[in-house]
Copies of this chain bind each other. A is one copy, B any other.
Amino acid sequence: MARYDFTTPRLHVDAPLAEGGSVALDAGRTNYLRNVLRLAEGAEVLLFNGSDGEWRARIAKVAKKASELTCVERTREQEKLPDLVYLFAPLKHARLDYMVQKAVEMGAGRLAPVFTQHTQATRINLERMRANVVEAAEQCGVIAVPEVCEPAKLERVIDGWSADEPGRRLIVCDESAPVGSPIETLLALTPGPLGLLIGPEGGFSREEREMLLGHEAVVPVSLGPRILRADTAAVAALAVVQAACGDWR
């Protein structure tokens, strides 16, 4: 996979992208362009929409509440995101934002918040989470914005797991698993769609652990001898999974 240019600002847009095509930005995105990125007419940005690849585009017009860009040339072909669903018990506020950004940066293809018995947060601001995912995708250069699923109870997600997507394995980071490197376990998996579940900071409840460990799709792994905070565990687990059976190979 080619390295991308990460000095030029990147913007996710909904519009189709094609050579010479024009893309209009609304007031919010125009404000970002003018007042955050401080760009003026003639400056260049990178655009992506998740289906037409990444394009170098030039700012054709900037007014106070609207702007227009012209696609110049395609800089990257469209690729699919890794087929990796990242399931996580939401944390509170800033640490949740952080965890979501890191998951995007580490190449999660879909984000699925799950409520467990010991989950700290009881409600989720999905709009904020989605905006956060878009921003992270723009900044870290991934070529599409990962989907954010509606939050659901862990029990329901696990109940429907194999029926919804037969064959998708679910790697579960379980702090009660005997300490041992996850690498051998992960290298032994047949290539295919994956899920990765990080529990809440209070750990899974006994019932949840039994439900998980009894499920045919579940692959329990340890993340070493130290207790990790949930945001650290997210990056650590995604790194090991991407390195052993994801797109680092």
Contacts and interface: CB of A to CB of B under 8 A. Distances in A.
Given A102-B232, A222-B248, A235-B235, A227 B6 contact: yes
Interface in A217-249: 222-229, 232, 235-240, 242-244, 246-249
Contact of A224 (B4, B107, B175): B107
Nearest to A184: B249
Given A106-B226, A236-B239, 9 more contacts: A102-B232, A105-B226, A105-B232, A141-B226, A179-B248, A180-B248, A181-B249, A182-B243, A239-B240
A243 B228 CA distance: 14
Contacts of A102: 232
Contact of A227 (B4, B182, B240): B4
Interface in A126-145: 140-142
A187 B179 CA distance: 18
A80 to B, nearest CB: 13
Specify the main secondary structure of chain A where it touches its partner: loop
Interface string A1-32: 10110100000000000000000000000000
Interface in A167-201: 175, 179-183, 187
Given A1-B179, A229-B140, A224 B236 contact: no
6 contacts: A105-B226, A106-B236, A141-B226, A180-B249, A223-B239, A224-B246
B244 A235 contact: no
Contact of A181 (B4, B175, B237, B243): B243
Contacts of A179: 1, 248
Interface in A71-111: 102, 105-107
A183 B175 CA distance: 23
A140 B1 CA distance: 36
Nearest to A247: B225
B107 A226 contact: yes
Contacts of A227: 3-4, 6, 140-141
A234 to B, nearest CB: 9
B248 A239 contact: no
Residue of A6, A236, A242, A247 ringed by the most chain B CB atoms within 10 A = A236
Nearest to A235: B235
